[in-house]
Amino acid sequence: MIVAKNLSELKLSIDSAKAKNQKIGFVPTMGYLHQGHISLVEEAKRESGFVVMSIFVNPKQFNDPNDFLKYPVDLDGDLNKCKQAGVDLVFYPSTDDLYPSTGFELVMTLPLLQKNLCGRTRPGHFEGVMLIVSKLFHLVQPDLAYFGQKDFQQFRIIQEMVRILNFPIEVKGIETLREADGLAMSSRNVRLSPKEREVASMIPRMFSLVEKLVKGGERKVSSLREIVSEFFLSESMIKIDYIEFVDPLQLQELDELKDNSLLAIAIFVGQTRLIDNRLLRIS
Phi, psi of 75 (to 5 degrees): -60, -45
Phi-psi region of 270 (alpha: psi -120 to 50; beta: other; left: phi over 0): left
Going by the annotation, the residues of the binding site for beta-alanine are 61
Q: Binding site membership for ATP: which residues?
A: 30-37, 148-151, 177, 185-188
- Give residue 7's identity as a one-letter amino acid code: L
> Three-class SS string for 132-160?
HHHHHHHHHCCCEEEEECCCHHHHHHHHH
Going 163 to 167 to 172 to 173, the CA torsion angle's sign is: negative
Q: Residue positions in the annotated binding site for (R)-pantoate? A: 61, 154
- CA 198 to centroid of chain Cα atoms: 23
Q: Which of 14, 27, 37, 41 is catalytic?
A: 37
Per the annotation, where are the binding residues?
A: 30-37, 61, 148-151, 154, 177, 185-188
Q: Give the CA count within 13 Å in the CB-facing half-sphere of 11.
A: 5
Is 125 annotated as catalytic? no
Based on the number of CB atoms within 10 Å of its own CB, is 197 exposed (0-12), middle (13-18) or buried (19 or more)?
A: middle
Query: Which residues are known to be catalytic?
Result: 37
